[in-house]
Amino acid sequence: MSFILFDNVIKRYKTGTVTVNAADGVSFVIEKGEFAVVAGPSGAGKTTVLNMLGGMDCCDGGRIVVDSAEISSFNAKQLTEYRRSDIGFVFQFYNLIPNLTALENVELASQICSEPLDAEKTLTEVGLHERMNNFPAGLSGGEQQRVAIARALAKNPKLLLCDEPTGALDYATGKVILSLLQRTCRDRNMTVVVITHNQAIAPMADKVIHIRNGKADRVLQNPSPLSVDEIEW
């Protein structure tokens, strides 16, 4: 059985009398240790997929299975536990707590899970050992995103979920971040799912899932993913 399974997943949003099928039967699988890119134009349903996969939202139909656990049947408390111990999040706008230093931001996540990695070591691994006592406001965008990745990794999650991780960054910095994510995936055998509207980064992924009109339009397996340095956009 695959590590992640989306089986005909349906999500409807009701606003007044209008019902929008944000996910209209999404199906795909992601294997353990894969670097997967979920790509698609805005409004296609990428974020809906991420929200459901991240345990932030529940589906209205179909099955979602992560590491043999059927999270589509979880209640709110189970979803929180799932987010707490299984998922590492990386946000577009970093979402660091401004009043905590880089190290403390990582500790914030690591202190709530059962088998965390050492916060300081994780920061060193993302190349921020020198700056770990800085507050977010004193860090550049790329550095902030690296803190966010460290925060996600320190939880020792089963799955790293990244929502437009380069969306707020410039080209060069974006590449550094993607490279960090790719390395993490390879070195730790971490399953990484990156949501993006940027089709150009697809070649670096093991698997590319194109979402369009609420469906997984195409799922492409990439037998020889490129290193980040080799791709341009």
Partner 1 sequence: MSRAFIKDCLRQVKTTIHRFAAILVISALGVAFFAGLRTTGEDMRITANDYFNKYNFMDIQLVSPYGFNDDDLEAVRDAPGVKEATAAYTLDALAKSKDSSLTVRLHSFDENARINLPRLTEGRLPQKSGECLVDPKFIEMRDCVVGDTVSVSSGTDTPIEDSLVTDTYIIVGVADYPLYISHERGANNVGSGRTDAYILVPCDDFKIPVFTSINIIVENSNNTIRFDDGYKNILKPVGDNLRIIGNERSLTEYNKHFSRLQGIIDLSQNEAEKQAALAQQRLLTPAEWHILDINTNFGFVGYRQDTERMDALSLVIPLMFFLIAILVTMTSMTRLVESDRSLIGTLKALGYANRTIAMRYLLYAVAASLIGSIFGLIVGYNLFPRVVYNAYSIMYTLPPIQIIYSNFYSAVSVAAAVLCSALPAYLVCYKSMRASAAELMRPITPKIGKRTLIERITPLWKRFNFSQKVAFRNLFRYKKRLIMTLIGVAGCTALMFTGFALQDSITVIVHKQYSELHLYDMQVYFTNGNGSAESIFTENNLIKNHTLILSDTCDIFNDNQKTSVNIIVPKSADEFDAYINLRNRTSKSSLTLDDNGVIVTEKLALLYDLSVGDEFSVVSSDGAVILLTVSGITENYLVHYIYLTHEVFEEKFGKRFLPNSALISTISDTDKNALAESLLSHPEVNSITMSEYLEENFSKMTDALNYVVLVLIASSATLVCVVLFSLNTINFEERKRELATIKVLGFFDRELAAYMYRENAVLTIIGTVFGLGLGVLLQRYIITTMEVDLVMFSREIFFASYLYSAVLTIAFAVVVNLIMLKFIARIDVVTSMKSVE
Give the nearer residue to partner 1 in terms of CB position, either 85 or 173.
85
Binding partner 1 (rule: CB under 8 A), the pick from 98, 130, 172, 230 is 98
What is the smallest separation between the CB atom of 227 and partner 1, expressed in angstroms? 29
Cα–Cα distance list, 146 to 9, 155, 179 (Å): 32, 15, 11
Amino acid symbol at 67: D
**Contact range with partner 1 by CB under 8 A, out of 16-24, 66-74, 95-103, 210-218:** 95-103
With 0-12 / 13-18 / 19 or more C-beta atoms within 10 angstroms meaning exposed / middle / buried, residue 36 is: buried
**Contact range with partner 1 by CB under 8 A, out of 2-10, 107-115, 174-182, 217-225:** 107-115
Give the nearer residue to partner 1 in terms of CB position, either 104 or 222.
104
Binding mask 138-177 for partner 1 (x = CB under 8 A): x------------x---x-------x--------------
Work out whether 13 is an interface residue with partner 1 (CB under 8 A): no
Work out whether 217 is an interface residue with partner 1 (CB under 8 A): no
Give the nearer residue to partner 1 in terms of CB position, either 96 or 181.
96
Please give the Cα distance from 155 to 116 (Å, whole number): 5
What is the smallest separation between the CB atom of 231 and partner 1, expressed in angstroms? 25
Annotate 122-155 with b (16+ C-beta within 10 A) or e (fewer): bbebbebeebbebbbeebebbbbbbbbbbbbbbb
Backbone phi and psi for residue 123, each to the nearest 5 degrees, phi listed first: -65, -40
Tell me, by CB under 8 A, how many residues bind partner 1.
37
Please give the Cα distance from 22 to 227 (Å, whole number): 33
Binding partner 1 (rule: CB under 8 A), the pick from 69, 124, 135, 203 is 135
Work out whether 101 is an interface residue with partner 1 (CB under 8 A): yes
Q: What is the DSSP letter of 99?
A: T
Work out whether 74 is an interface residue with partner 1 (CB under 8 A): no
Whether residue 165 contacts residue 181, with contact meaning beta carbons closer than 8 Å, is answered with yes
Please give the Cα distance from 187 to 189 (Å, whole number): 6
Question: What residues line the site for partner 1 (CB under 8 A)?
Answer: 47, 51, 54, 56-57, 77, 80-85, 87, 89, 91-93, 95, 97-101, 104, 107-109, 111-113, 135-138, 151, 155, 163
